[in-house]
Amino acid sequence: MSKSFEKNSEGAGDMDDIGRLIHYAGARETISPERLEKARQRVGTHWEHVVAEQRHNRGGTRFRYVAVAASIVVAVGASLLLWRAVDVPPAIVSASVDRVLGEVMLADQVAGKGDVIGVDTLIATSPDSRIALRMAGGQSLRIDTSSQLLLHSSNHVSLQAGGVYIDTDTASNPLPIMVSTPFGVARDVGTQFQVRLAASVLMVGVRDGVVEVAQTGQRSLSVNKDRFVELDMNGKKAERVLSTDDPSWDWVETVAPEFDIQGVSLKQYLTWYAGQKGIALVWADDASQAKAEGIELAGSIAGTMLHEGLLTVQQIAPFDYRIEGDTIWVKVE
Amino acid sequence: MVEHADKKLVTRLLQGDRRSFDAFFNSYFLRLYRFALVRLDHDHDLAEETAQEVLCQAISKMATYRGEASLYAWMCTFCRHEIARQWKASKRARGDTALREDDPEIQAALESLLSVTSYYPDAALHQSEVSRLVKVALDHLPTLYADTLESKYVHGLSVREIAQRIGRSSKAVESILTRAREAFRDSFRSLIHNEQRDLQVGQCLSSVIE
């Protein structure tokens, strides 16, 4: 509440011409703190996206650059160069669609590959559909069947039903991603993890790195690599080992983003493959690694499942592999 | 005029500094909102949306900012484009939204904050226009100056209360007020001075500035 000017402790006599003029004009228009905060969040999300994009471009992998830049081009309906044009307002982008299996709804629209997703979009998968998103910061986010997820911004989502998998290893300089649930908030510390809601529990499984879970009235809980915890409103209920080849990870592979092999080296592809599987890539010898670096792939593995893609690449590149536990061993001829 | 502080702010923003983002948002969102508001028939929702859009556009193009104009003036250019787009999109008949401060000469004057003659606002007939110009002049000042002037002269806060609110000493607030008054005087006089070039408005305002 504004005080009367006359009650100013300096007194009316303190007011010079400028004071009278400003007093006479009255307060400038403003908006409510709630709306101001919402605007700050929206602009802030866009700023985070631009900063992440710049970092990406400076030291980034070409693949990631193209993926994110493409989504922006779709957003503004123009070429990459036009993205800089003055008259084209950029959308406030949180993510873009990397891959869709079945019919997935983005608010009231059916999702398609390459679609750009703005802030505050509800994403709903059916019992037979899944979707993979590329967040503005470069992270990969995959949503399992029968799920509902609200995308607040490029680094904050709310899981309302079902399961979500997040891989922040794919981003060069990722901001942490927060997953809010009715049971608490899971926040990554550079990792691959999934969060799932069941009737009365929250399940968090970590394939790599660490996830912190914060619950109201409870001490923050760290979930480490290869661990699985179940929580309810009162905190941790159960914990067990979760190996890399546990069946609970299988769905993640089915909706892995597609990889364009055209022009990339065998080493790049295998590194990506291992990252998607959450396993370590080990070369049989130094020569194998050197050769893999020099082999350039051609063609496409679009539309294949993760392992089918590997088999396809093996038909065009001379290498053997075996997967043991959390390692893929590769020998290049 | 090269705005060194603005360039520094832009550099830090592009480096991903969160505090700089907050400073950027706090400094410009409401100013752009008000800039849009008077040009969009006082449609508050549209003005809010426009201010958001303009900040996003500016962030996207920030790497191209050279500091030839103040950051605010630079963003006002985007705002005018965005307002024109809004009018076009709404398919409404566009009224005359060109305001006096949109005149390039007046923009330049506000930019350089030239000093001219004295003024005495007493024409009730032009109350709303003078009020609007005062607010325009305030929005062309650094946010700290404008907010401090408004706190003191509109909300009636004492120097000590302002000092508590912004976390400075009373002496520092007095110094800010002195500088803010000077800046406001220059800004407003420039605005009024350039008004005189407009015959219609010049006549109306002659009583104000004589």
Q: What would the mean pLDDT of A95-107 be, rounded to a whole number?
A: 91
Q: Amino acid letter at A171?
A: A
Chain A residue with minimum CA distance to B37: A29
Q: Backbone phi, then psi, for B120, in 5-degree steps?
A: -145, 100
CA distance A93 to A73: 11
Q: Which of residues 87-106 of B touch A (CB under 8 A)?
A: none
CA distance B169 to B85: 45
Query: Over 50: is that where the pLDDT of A3 sits?
Result: no
Task: Please count the residue pairs, one from chain A and one from chain B, whose beta carbons lie less than 8 angstroms apart.
Answer: 141
The model carries a pTM of: 0.45
Is A172 within 8 Å of A150 (Cβ atoms)?
no
Query: Over 70: is that where the pLDDT of A67 sits?
Result: no
Looking at the complex, does the CB of residue A23 fall below 8 Å from at least one CB of chain B? yes
Average pLDDT of chain A is 78
The residues that bridge with A262 in the sheet, in sequence order, are: none
Looking at the complex, does the CB of residue A19 fall below 8 Å from at least one CB of chain B? yes
B59 and A84 within 8 Å at the Cβ level: the answer is no
B155 and A27 within 8 Å at the Cβ level: the answer is yes
Q: What is the 3-state secondary structure (H, E, C) of A294-310?
A: HCECCCCCCCCCHHHHH
How would residue A313 be classed by pLDDT, with cut points 50, 70 and 90? very high
Chain B partners of A118 at a C-beta cutoff of 8 Å? none
Predicted local confidence at residue A219, as pLDDT: 74
The residues that bridge with A99 in the sheet, in sequence order, are: A132
Mutate to test the interface with A, among B34, B62, B153 (most CBs of A within 10 A): B153
Q: What is the DSSP letter of A274?
A: H
Same domain, A244 and A262: no
Same domain, A239 and A156: yes
B160 and A24 within 8 Å at the Cβ level: the answer is no
Looking at the complex, does the CB of residue A157 fall below 8 Å from at least one CB of chain B? no
Same domain, A122 and A243: yes
Q: Backbone phi, then psi, for A19, in 5-degree steps?
A: -60, -45
Same domain, A285 and A315: yes
Same domain, A217 and A246: yes
Looking at the complex, does the CB of residue A263 fall below 8 Å from at least one CB of chain B? no
User: Which residue has tokens 């471009």?
Assistant: A57
Query: Over 50: is that where the pLDDT of B43 sits?
Result: yes
The residues that bridge with A151 in the sheet, in sequence order, are: A121, A157
Mutate to test the interface with B, among A29, A71, A80, A83 (most CBs of B within 10 A): A29
Kindly report each contact of residues A31-37 with a partner whose C-beta sits within 8 Å and lies 24 or more positions away, as own/partner: A31/B30, A31/B33, A31/B44, A31/B48, A35/B48, A36/B29, A36/B30
Mutate to test the interface with B, among A7, A10, A50 (most CBs of B within 10 A): A50
Sign of CA dihedral B50, B54, B55, B57: positive
Residue A23 lies in a domain: no
How would residue A172 be classed by pLDDT, with cut points 50, 70 and 90? low
Total domain count for chain A? 2
Predicted local confidence at residue A92, as pLDDT: 58
Chain B partners of A3 at a C-beta cutoff of 8 Å? 155-157
B156 and A31 within 8 Å at the Cβ level: the answer is no
Same domain, A262 and A236: no
H/E segment holding residue A5: none
Query: Over 80: is that where the pLDDT of B117 sits?
Result: no
Alpha carbon separation from A251 to A96, A145, A245, B190 (Å, rounded) = 20, 9, 12, 67
Q: What would the mean pLDDT of A196-213 be, rounded to a whole number?
A: 88
Chain B residue with minimum CA distance to A40: B25
Same domain, A113 and A237: yes
Domain boundaries along the sequence of chain B: 4-97, 101-209
- DSSP reduced 3-state for A144: coil
Chain A partners of B33 at a C-beta cutoff of 8 Å? 29-31
Is A157 within 8 Å of A278 (Cβ atoms)?
no
CA distance B121 to A6: 19
Q: Which of residues 160-179 of B touch A (CB under 8 A)?
A: 160-161
Residue A43 lies in a domain: no
Sign of CA dihedral A206, A211, A216, A218: positive
| Contacts with B203 (C-beta within 8 Å, 6 or more apart), sequence order | none
Could you say which of A203, A233, A250 is where a domain stops? A250
Residue A212 lies in a domain: yes
Q: What would the mean pLDDT of A34-44 be, rounded to a whole number?
A: 85
Alpha carbon separation from A179 to A59, A148, A164, B120, B207 (Å, rounded) = 28, 12, 9, 59, 62
**What per-residue string of b and e applies to B12-49 under the rule 16 or more CB within 10 Å gives b?**
bbbebeeebbeebbebbbbbbbbbbbbbbeebeebbbb
CATH number of residue A129's parent domain:
2.60.120.1440
B181 and A18 within 8 Å at the Cβ level: the answer is yes
Query: Over 60: is that where the pLDDT of A60 sits?
Result: no
Is A160 within 8 Å of A148 (Cβ atoms)?
yes
Same domain, A139 and A241: yes
Residue A277 lies in a domain: yes
The residues that bridge with A159 in the sheet, in sequence order, are: A149
Query: Over 70: is that where the pLDDT of A85 sits?
Result: no
- Domain of A309? 258-332
Residue A205 lies in a domain: yes
Same domain, A183 and A299: no
What crossing angle do the helices spanning B199-209 and B127-139 adopt, rounded to 10°? Answer: 90
Same domain, A198 and A263: no
B152 and A8 within 8 Å at the Cβ level: the answer is yes
What is the percentage of chain A residues whose pLDDT exceeds 70?
A: 81
What is the percentage of chain A residues whose pLDDT exceeds 90?
A: 26
- DSSP reduced 3-state for A95: strand
How would residue A244 be classed by pLDDT, with cut points 50, 70 and 90? confident
How would residue A7 be classed by pLDDT, with cut points 50, 70 and 90? very low
Chain B residue with minimum CA distance to A45: B56
CATH number of residue A317's parent domain:
3.55.50.30
ipTM of the complex as predicted:
0.73
Residue A172 lies in a domain: yes
| Contacts with B97 (C-beta within 8 Å, 6 or more apart), sequence order | B39, B40, B83, B87
Could you say which of A223, A250, A277 is where a domain stops? A250
Query: Over 60: is that where the pLDDT of B110 sits?
Result: no
How would residue A259 be classed by pLDDT, with cut points 50, 70 and 90? confident
Alpha carbon separation from A207 to A140, A184, A290 (Å, rounded) = 14, 20, 28
- DSSP reduced 3-state for B138: helix
Sign of CA dihedral B182, B179, B122, B40: positive
Same domain, A132 and A204: yes
Q: What would the mean pLDDT of A113-117 be, rounded to a whole number?
A: 86
Residue A267 lies in a domain: yes
How would residue A129 be classed by pLDDT, with cut points 50, 70 and 90? very high
Chain A residue with minimum CA distance to B181: A18
Same domain, A278 and A172: no
Q: Which CATH class is domain B101-209?
A: mainly alpha
A18 and B185 within 8 Å at the Cβ level: the answer is yes
- Higher confidence at residue A272 or residue A217? A272
Looking at the complex, does the CB of residue A32 fall below 8 Å from at least one CB of chain B? no
H/E segment holding residue A140: strand A140-143
Mutate to test the interface with A, among B22, B57, B59 (most CBs of A within 10 A): B59
Residue-wise pLDDT tens digits, B9-33: 998 888 888 888 888 999 999 999 9
Could you say which of A250, A274, A307 is where a domain stops? A250
Residue A104 lies in a domain: yes
Chain B partners of A39 at a C-beta cutoff of 8 Å? 29, 48, 51-52
Chain A partners of B53 at a C-beta cutoff of 8 Å? 89
Q: Backbone phi, then psi, for A48, in 5-degree steps?
A: -60, -40
Mutate to test the interface with A, among B60, B131, B161, B178 (most CBs of A within 10 A): B60
Closest-CA distance of chain B to residue A168, Å: 18
H/E segment holding residue B17: none
CA distance A55 to B15: 9
Stated length of chain B: 210
Looking at the complex, does the CB of residue B82 fall below 8 Å from at least one CB of chain A? yes
Q: Amino acid letter at B100?
A: R
Task: Give me the CATH topology for the region B4-97.
Answer: Rna Polymerase Sigma Factor; Chain: A (1.10.1740)
Kindly report each contact of residues A70-79 with a partner whose C-beta sits within 8 Å and lies 24 or more positions away, as own/partner: A70/A96, A70/A114, A71/A95, A71/A96, A71/A114, A71/A116, A71/A134, A72/A116, A74/A114, A74/A115, A74/A116, A75/A116
